[in-house]
A and B are shown apart, each in its own frame.
Chain A
Amino acid sequence: DAKTTQPPSMDCAEGRAANLPCNHSTISGNEYVYWYRQIHSQGPQYIIHGLKNNETNEMASLIITEDRKSSTLILPHATLRDTAVYYCIVRVGLRGGADGLTFGKGTHLIIQP
């Protein structure tokens, strides 16, 4: 799986959009970008994933650049409950899931009241 690079920490004001960047310059054509987050003392939570088109769900939007070398996770209206460590990972799709996820250090997003 391609390596990802994320800033170690970010602050965002409550109610504003939180934009979390991720670089994955060595991503290959069959690799998807996944985002998970882990709120303190809880299990990781899946947020969203995409291949090359932008994606949106009830939690967030994922913007992937045209060259696919970077992406941005957008939380449109951040709340205090969005304070967590956010992990960007790149994985080959459709391997059947018979292997584990590898998280890097992620970005610690702190939502300020």
Chain B
Amino acid sequence: SQTIHQWPATLVQPVGSPLSLECTVEGTSNPNLYWYRQAAGRGLQLLFYSVGIGQISSEVPQNLSASRPQDRQFILSSKKLLLSDSGFYLCAWSVPGTETQYFGPGTRLLVL
């Protein structure tokens, strides 16, 4: 069966520090991968999606970036965190050509 992992589960970082969040998927090949952010009390915001290795599409301008160095690995990064980057970061995957998305457990990021 397929599983999706995210780490770390929680993170407290100072403003201006770098960020690296990792997401890996097991049990499937060539998935579509997604990074979302969910701010407190608000809905999901799609940040990036990827349909293959090295293929990244960005949905909103921000100081975050994403990379997909391997088929089932998706990384969210920042060189300098802002206070507004605080939130719940969710990775998800889907089978290409289908609409159902499966989410990871999320990383709760607090920037102070």
Q: Which residues of A contact B (CB under 8 A)?
A: 32, 34, 41-46, 49, 91, 93-105
Q: How far is the CA of A2 from the CA of B94 in the complex (A)?
A: 21
Contact across chains for A99 and B100 when beta carbons are under 8 A apart: no
Contact across chains for B103 and A45 when beta carbons are under 8 A apart: yes
For B49, give its contact among A34, A42, A46, A99 (CB under 8 Å): A99
- Of chain B, the residue at the smallest CB distance from A45 is B103
**Contact residues in B for A94 (Cβ distance below 8 Å):** 97-99
Contact across chains for A100 and B44 when beta carbons are under 8 A apart: yes
Q: Which residues of B contact A (CB under 8 A)?
A: 32, 34, 36, 43-46, 49, 51, 57, 59, 90, 92, 94-106, 108
**Contact residues in A for B105 (Cβ distance below 8 Å):** 42-43
Give the dominant DSSP class at A's interface. Answer: loop
- Of chain A, the residue at the smallest CB distance from B48 is A100
**Contact residues in A for B94 (Cβ distance below 8 Å):** 97
Contact across chains for B59 and A97 when beta carbons are under 8 A apart: no
- Of chain A, the residue at the smallest CB distance from B95 is A97
Q: How far is the CA of A41 from the CA of B57 in the complex (A)?
A: 27
- Nearest first, the 7 A-B pairs at minimum CB distance are A100-B46, A43-B103, A97-B94, A97-B32, A43-B106, A44-B103, A103-B43
Contact across chains for A96 and B104 when beta carbons are under 8 A apart: no
